[in-house]
Amino acid sequence: MAGVAYIGVGSNVGDAFENCLQGMRAVIDNERATFVALSSLYRTSPVSPVVQSDFLNCALKIAWRGTPRELLSFLQEVEAALGRDRGVRFGPRTLDLDILFFDDLVLDTPGLTIPHPRLHQRKFALVPCLEIDPGLVHPRFGRPLAEYLRELGDEQKIAPFGKVPADRIGSAKAGDAPEGGGG
């Protein structure tokens, strides 16, 4: 099985920018992954009752030669390899990699729900996906993602943080032209 996946990338511990970049580099480096597109980075307020720092979030679109389950296992390996404070065993996770979409697949299995069960309620997932493809439709509910975004109030804050040239995450290796004239 193979498909095109949107991966939600987030960090709010340590150097969030570097954590996101390194995480995406590790994803693109995998032989089963091919870069397709990358959104801007956004600074977002945490959607959580726990007081914590703002996040950096973005969405990475890849072609994946494997099953969704294999993609989840791989993303969890990347989280484990890069997502902990150096030297602190079982320290705080500094990188979150979620499967937001996998083609038009609708999947409910223990430990893996596709589309991601909360993405339509979260600006930090909706906005980067819509930047990549403004016409995206939620395959479970058949509704355009843009409608969910319009219905969310002002509570969740999201602000553009900047664009990452695609070659900074190693996509040039796969033969893609860097965005924005970088390189």
- Enzyme catalytic residues: 84, 93, 96, 98
Nearest to 42 by CA among 22, 32, 56, 28: 56
User: Cβ 76 to Mg ion, closest distance in Å?
Assistant: 9
Question: Cα–Cα distance between 166 and 41 in angstroms, integer?
Answer: 12
Q: What does the per-residue mask of binding to ligand ADP show for 42-81, with x meaning CB under 6 A?
A: ------------------------------x---------
Q: Is the distance from CB of 44 to CB of 58 less than 8 angstroms?
A: no
Q: Is the distance from CB of 152 to CB of 123 less than 8 angstroms?
A: yes
Q: With binding defined as CB under 5 A, does residue 96 bind Mg ion?
A: yes
Q: With binding defined as CB under 6 A, does residue 23 bind ligand ADP?
A: no
Stated length of the chain: 183
Name residue 116's amino acid: H
Q: Is the distance from CB of 64 to CB of 31 less than 8 angstroms?
A: no
Question: Cα–Cα distance between 78 and 96 in angstroms, integer?
Answer: 9
Please, which of residues 107-136 interact with ligand ADP by CB under 6 A? 111-114, 116
Q: With binding defined as CB under 5 A, does residue 79 bind Mg ion?
A: no
Interacting stretch for ligand ADP, rule CB under 6 A, among 27-35, 91-99, 149-157, 168-176? 91-99
Q: With binding defined as CB under 6 A, does residue 96 bind ligand ADP?
A: yes
Question: What phi and psi, each to the nearest 5 degrees, are found at residue 158?
Answer: -145, 130
- Residue with Cβ nearer ligand ADP (81 or 177): 81
Chain residues binding ligand ADP by CB under 6 A are: 72, 96, 98-99, 111-114, 116
Binding site for Mg ion (CB under 5 A): 96, 98
